[in-house]
């Protein structure tokens, strides 16, 4: 499997999700109604009441905004922003003097999020089309980088974290929700395009994932919380996929 083939398959799959609203896969939380899925992965009902309904798509594996300690006036970047739920949630935290930028490689997702921002009158958000391995963002311009179950979809995770490090201001931080593995996954899963799009095949072993963040330059990297991720597609994976919330800092 070539990295470009994986990326094009993932882009096509999530473009379809943006247009149809259909569940992304039988193994993900998005098999449930969108709001129910959001509650299962860490959002509260109050959180959901404070973001546009169109942005709640049942995607993700955590709630990075709740743990990022965002402050009024900060500039925040969301890697793989999808329909924009975390961007809109963060926009409430940083206020009118702050700004939240969402970057996504899927044009249909970006268009959906932009339309939602206009419809609901958000003036402190921006959605940019681009790849998280090559961010369309100025260096040293961001206070906090967040991401929700997206980096596992990238074939080049170290480059993603190096890009996150580049765009952060000195003293900036990341708060990432993602899926990792406990041990190695079956080889046939690693070679499955569907499993890549389902956030499974691209997941790294937990310690390797943390090492990748540190190699990118981040310090004080730590797992803030973790929980076993429930999969309905195969009992072979029971207990082998973990949802983690990871924090790191740029010195």
What pLDDT score does 19 carry? 87
Cβ atoms of 34 and 101 closer than 8 Å:
no
What pLDDT score does 239 carry? 66
What pLDDT score does 93 carry? 97
pTM over 0.85? The answer is yes
Q: What is the pLDDT of residues 180-190, one digit of tens each?
A: 998 888 888 88
What pLDDT score does 42 carry? 85
What pLDDT score does 230 carry? 62
What pLDDT score does 26 carry? 39
The whole-angstrom separation of Cα 142 and Cα 164 is 9
The whole-angstrom separation of Cα 157 and Cα 216 is 10
What pLDDT score does 158 carry? 97
Cβ atoms of 6 and 196 closer than 8 Å:
yes
What pLDDT score does 22 carry? 61
**Cα angle for residues 129, 115, 155 (degrees, 5° grid):** 30
What CATH number does residue 78 fall under?
A: 3.40.50.150
Residue 97 CB neighbour total at 10 angstroms? 9
List, edge to edge, every strand of the sheet that includes 219-228: 125-129, 99-104, 75-79, 142-148, 168-181, 241-249, 219-228
* Domain range enclosing 232: 3-249
Residues of the chain with pLDDT under 70: 21-32, 230-239
What pLDDT score does 236 carry? 62
Number of structural domains the chain divides into: 1
Cβ atoms of 63 and 78 closer than 8 Å:
no
């Amino acid at each position: 499997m070539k990295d470009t083939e994986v990326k094009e398959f993932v882009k096509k799959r999530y473009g379809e999700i943006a247009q149809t609203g259909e569940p992304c896969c039988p193994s993900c939380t998005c098999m449930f109604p969108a709001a129910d899925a959001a509650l299962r992965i860490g959002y509260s009902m109050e959180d959901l009441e404070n973001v546009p309904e169109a942005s709640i798509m049942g995607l993700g594996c955590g709630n990075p905004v709740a743990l990022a300690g965002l402050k009024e006036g900060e500039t925040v970047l969301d890697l793989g922003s999808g329909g924009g739920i975390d961007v809109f949630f963060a926009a409430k935290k940083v206020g009118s003097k702050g700004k939240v930028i969402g970057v996504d490689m899927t044009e249909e997702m970006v268009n959906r999020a932009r339309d939602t921002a206009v419809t609901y009158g958000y003036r402190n958000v921006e959605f940019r089309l681009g790849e998280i391995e090559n961010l369309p963002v100025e260096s040293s311009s961001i206070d906090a980088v967040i991401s929700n179950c997206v980096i596992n979809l990238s074939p080049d995770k170290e480059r993603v974290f190096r890009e996150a490090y580049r765009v952060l201001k000195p003293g900036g931080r990341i708060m990432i929700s993602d899926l990792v593995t406990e041990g190695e996954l079956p080889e046939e899963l690693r070679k499955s395009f569907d499993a890549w799009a389902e956030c499974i095949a691209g997941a790294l072993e937990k310690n390797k994932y943390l090492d990748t963040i540190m190699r990118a330059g981040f310090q004080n990297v730590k797992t803030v919380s973790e929980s076993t991720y429930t999969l309905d597609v195969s009992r072979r994976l029971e207990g082998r996929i973990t949802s983690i919330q990871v924090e790191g800092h740029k010195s």
